Amino acid sequence: MNLLLDAIGWIGAALLLAGYALVSSSRMAGNGTAYQLINLVGSVSLMVNSAHNAAWPSAGLNLVWGAIGVVALVKLARVREAAAK
């Protein structure tokens, strides 16, 4: 189980770094669905790993990071819905 949770943490870290690198290099839009999904999955993965390791400041940070991602995705969905009308 520890190995699985460690792998989840490393995958989350890789996703967050990849998203940041892609936006910083202008290969991905920072206000798009793909970036928000990468951030959401990455932050939830790191939150799970941090909580398992009792790293509560990191778990809390990633909880907020994930909530920001959810809010951004909801806003993007509303914009798409309004544009489709």
Cα distances (angstroms) measured from residue 11 to each of 29, 75, 76? 21, 26, 25
Domains of the chain, by residue range, sit at 2-84
**Taking the CB of residue 83, how many other CB atoms lie within 10 A of it?**
7
Q: What mean pLDDT comes out for the span 41-46?
A: 97
pLDDT at 5: 96
11, 26, 23: which is closest to 72 by C-alpha?
A: 23
Name the pTM for this structure.
0.91
- Using 50, 70 and 90 to split pLDDT, how confident is the model at 72? very high
What is the C-alpha to C-alpha distance for residues 49 and 16, in angstroms, rounded to an integer?
A: 14
> Does the pLDDT of residue 69 top 90, yes or no?
yes
Q: Which tokens belong to 53? A: 């390791």
Distance of alpha carbon 75 from alpha carbon 83, whole angstroms:
12
